[in-house]
Chains A and B, each alone.
Chain A
Amino acid sequence: MAAKVINVDGADHTLDAAPDMPLLYALRDDLGLNNPKFGCGVAQCGACMVLIGGVPTFSCVTPLADVSGPITTIAGIGEPGALHPIQQAYIDEATPQCGYCISGWMLRAVALLKEIPRPTDNDIREAFAGLKCRCGTHMAIMRAVKRAAGLAP
């Protein structure tokens, strides 16, 4: 065990945890957050996604020791009182079914829209490769990303 300070959605937390423990368990178990989620534990789905220094990262395979940089979860992508456009678009398009997958999709979308503000269908398809949505909400995700980009879905 070793003390480690991480910054999550703007707040510092001191953890007393094994350095090889994946960040996911620090967020869920030590900080008691509801997001991100455990989906696979092997970097195959995106349920555990967080931004570290703005980069979408699978927290399930990121040892605590390797965390350097502020962590953003989907709770932290909007401004207080104002949702991020992708959050609003997710609501407007009624995108989630179970919604267990949304950390991966929304945080990749945040990064995508920063890099390509007006993505094409193909940009979106490629940016989301590797993410899973078992409920099959892919069509609604596509519409939500376009809506968030200000493009007609």
Chain B
Amino acid sequence: MISPAAVARRAAPVLACIGLLAAWQVASLGLKNDSFPTALEAIRAVPDILGDKESLINILASLRRMAIGFGIAVLVSIPLGLLMGRSRAVASFFNPLLMVIYPVPKAALMPIIMLWLGVGEATKILVIFLGVSLPVIYHSFEGAKAVEEKMLWSGAAMGLSALQRLVRIVLPAALPEILTGCRTGLVLALITMITSEMIARQSGAGNILFNALDMGQYDTVYAMIIVVGAMGICLDAVFERVRAGLVRWSEPQFDMPLSFS
């Protein structure tokens, strides 16, 4: 049985999307501006993009870059964040470095990185990597720092070495927090991906978008925005599924059993 509340919860995002599209439709009809197509025109252009082999290859290339950048970032940032959270020495070494990188928009680093690595894959992957790393490091750090010391002591008494404690106690204990960072990182990966392709035009979803803009194909521009937005929503939904499955033990949604001493 699905309760009315659950139906409302499911329907809410759909309604929000419809509302947004309706507002767009009304606004563009009212403005009558060539560079602002109606929502329907933009939506009608979506199948053209997805049906075009060239565009699909571009979009897949984008996703591939994003996956690589995100993957490497997560693999590097989680261990680093956990080490920083458990060792004051490691934290005081990396903290100043991160504080310097933190406020810099990663796309602003692109021209410099392009000087070293050219306009190819490596540059874009590096920018995505930088964008994803910081939230993942930060949340891994916070998660590791908050791990209850007595839990680590219990592990030590069982004979776990320092490394085993990090991998087998700190990592799972900090996982909910780490995954929160990864979720932020995923959205940032999408943003930095598009931005990087806008700066170093060569291929990818960002390239399609900005080429269309240059050529005045405004319905394609808006259709691409819809496609990118949909990609973001789907990636986030898939990630949220995975996350919820991994940290079911930490969510307060369980029904408590009857009281028992």
Instruction: Say whether A associates with B.
Output: no
